[in-house]
């Protein structure tokens, strides 16, 4: 069965500094990996995905993530954080079939001006 671990409940970053939100996964076969962001009382917005190809994936709002197969990780990164990036971030994984996404518990990012 698929699983996702987001080891940090909260990440605090000063505006302008780089940010990293960690994610590790477990899946049989090749993973389909995703990052979503959720603002208060809203649904999830898609940020980026890794299916195949280049291990470094670029997504919306300047975010990127690096797929590391040996470490089974897919950490989310941004070179320079904005206050408006403050939100709840979810990592998710599924296998290659038409299976539902499995989500991590989420990491709350707080960017301080």
For binding to another protein (CB under 8 A), which residues are involved? Answer: 32, 34, 36, 41-46, 49, 51, 90, 98, 100-106
Please identify, using beta-carbon distances, which residue of 45 and 110 lies nearer to another protein.
Answer: 45
Minimal distance, residue 34 CB to another protein, in Å = 7
Distance separating alpha carbons of residues 69 and 106, to the nearest angstrom: 21
Q: Are the C-beta atoms of residues 6 and 21 closer than 8 Å to each other?
A: yes
**Residue 69 C-beta: closest distance to another protein, Å:** 18
Q: Which is nearer to another protein, 15 or 95 (CB)?
A: 95
Task: List 66's β-bridge partners, or say none.
Answer: 56, 75
Rounded CA-CA distance 22/71 in Å is 12
Please report how close the Cβ of residue 76 comes to another protein at its closest, in angstroms: 16
Is the Cβ of residue 22 or residue 49 nearer to another protein in the bound state? Answer: 49
Assign residue 106 a region (left: φ > 0; alpha: ψ between -120 and 50; beta: otherwise).
left
């Amino acid at each position: 069965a698929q699983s996702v671990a987001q080891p940090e409940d909260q990440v605090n970053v000063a505006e302008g500094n780089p940010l990293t939100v960690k994610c590790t996964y477990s899946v049989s076969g090749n993973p389909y990996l995703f990052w979503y962001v959720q603002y208060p009382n809203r649904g999830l917005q898609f940020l980026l995905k890794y299916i195949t190809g280049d291990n470094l994936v670029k997504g919306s709002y300047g975010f990127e993530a690096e797929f590391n197969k040996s470490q089974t990780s897919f950490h989310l990164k941004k070179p320079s954080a904005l206050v408006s990036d403050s939100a709840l971030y979810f990592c998710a994984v599924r296998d290659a079939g038409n299976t539902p996404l499995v989500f991590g518990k989420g990491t709350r990012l707080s960017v301080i001006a």
